[in-house]
């Protein structure tokens, strides 16, 4: 029985959920994935996969009939490995490197080196009046609950970088470096890793490199991951954003969904077989 004046509250519908508090972040990332390249902005995604352990990994194999592959139930933990990736969904190319650690001292210099090389390949930025240039930056802050402070003098906006909402990605020195080079970071909200299309390509590379294998050292894992990443980049598959609910049936007929994020491809990913290698 209710304690106090007033009627009893209406019962909630079963399965009803509260509205997300990160709708602004989601809309910005989806907008970047859908229209960023058409607006003349390069859209790249960053992700860190791992840690991968020196343990047997499940996966398909081709043993002789009646002689199934058996993985050992005992193994030695001989370190871990991680894979750092920058992914360009528009053409499917990626920049990746493996390592045994992923601290800020390792991650930030690698990102700065790779992003500098990416910016060097982009066409020169179109000069804009200061007011129009500031509006271009502010357009990618609409709806955010926490907006970074923009400096009085801003370089031309050239690249949108989608990355996870980790503390190391928000260190002041790193964020200032990004803004100074015309890069606008877009952070996925909590529970929103599906907005990062790099998640999908990481899952594909991980499966191709480690499925059915039993690495003995972390160096072996790194070598397999980097070799598989080079194989992917030799014949990349462009990704198209397919996370919106609208036109779901049309997308199902024309596109091929991928796990790990809300992305899809216009052609199926080649499956791993004995003939085609990776």
Averaged over 160-179, what is the pLDDT? 89
Considering only 55-64, 212-221, 233-242, which range has the smallest mean pLDDT?
A: 55-64
Averaged over 16-21, what is the pLDDT? 50
**What is 23-54+78-237's CATH number?**
3.30.420.10
Structure tokens at 108: 């930030």
pLDDT of residue 109: 93
pLDDT of residue 87: 93
- The closest alpha carbon to 255, from 271, 270, 239, belongs to 239
Is the per-residue pLDDT at 19 higher than 60? no
pLDDT of residue 1: 45
Query: Percent of the chain scored above 90 by pLDDT?
Result: 21
pLDDT of residue 260: 72
- Alpha-carbon span 28 to 72, nearest angstrom: 47
| Domain extent listing, the chain | 23-54+78-237
pLDDT of residue 18: 45
Higher pLDDT, 205 or 6: 205
- Alpha-carbon span 216 to 219, nearest angstrom: 9
Is the per-residue pLDDT at 115 higher than 90? yes
pLDDT of residue 162: 92
Structure tokens at 236: 């990349």
Considering only 25-39, 85-99, 226-240, which range has the smallest mean pLDDT?
A: 25-39
At 11, the pLDDT band (50, 70, 90 cuts) reads low
Give residue for tokens 């007011």.
Answer: 131
Is the per-residue pLDDT at 159 higher than 50? yes
At 10, the pLDDT band (50, 70, 90 cuts) reads low
- The closest alpha carbon to 43, from 198, 180, 191, 237, belongs to 198
> Mind listing the pLDDT tens digit for each residue in 238-257?
988 876 554 565 656 666 77
pLDDT of residue 31: 85
Average pLDDT over the chain, rounded to an integer: 81
Contact 81, 225 (CB under 8 A): yes
Is the per-residue pLDDT at 22 higher than 70? no
């Amino acid at each position: 029985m209710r304690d106090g004046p007033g009627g009893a509250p209406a019962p909630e519908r079963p399965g009803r959920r509260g509205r997300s508090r990160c709708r602004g972040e989601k809309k910005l990332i989806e907008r970047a994935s859908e229209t960023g390249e058409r607006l003349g902005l390069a859209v790249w995604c960053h992700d860190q996969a791992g840690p991968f352990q020196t343990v047997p990994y499940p996966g398909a194999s081709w043993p002789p009939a009646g002689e199934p592959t058996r993985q050992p139930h005992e193994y030695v933990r001989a370190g871990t490995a991680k894979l750092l990736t920058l992914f360009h969904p528009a053409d499917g190319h990626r920049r990746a490197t493996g390592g045994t650690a992923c601290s800020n001292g390792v991650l930030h210099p690698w990102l700065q080196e790779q992003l500098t090389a990416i910016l060097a390949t982009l066409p020169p930025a179109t000069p804009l009046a200061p007011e129009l240039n500031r509006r271009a930056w502010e357009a990618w802050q609409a709806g955010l609950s926490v907006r970074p402070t923009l400096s009085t003098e801003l370089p031309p906006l050239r690249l949108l970088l989608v990355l996870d909402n980790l503390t190391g990605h928000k260190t002041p020195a790193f964020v200032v470096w990004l803004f100074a080079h015309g890069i606008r970071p877009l952070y996925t909200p909590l529970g929103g890793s599906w907005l990062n299309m790099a998640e999908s390509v990481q899952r594909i590379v991980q499966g191709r490199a480690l499925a059915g294998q039993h690495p003995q050292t972390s160096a072996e894992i790194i070598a397999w991951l980097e070799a598989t990443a080079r194989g992917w980049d030799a014949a990349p598959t462009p990704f198209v954003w397919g996370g919106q609910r609208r036109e779901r049936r049309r997308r199902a007929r024309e596109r091929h969904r991928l796990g790990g994020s809300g992305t899809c491809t216009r052609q199926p990913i080649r499956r791993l077989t004995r003939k085609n290698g990776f």
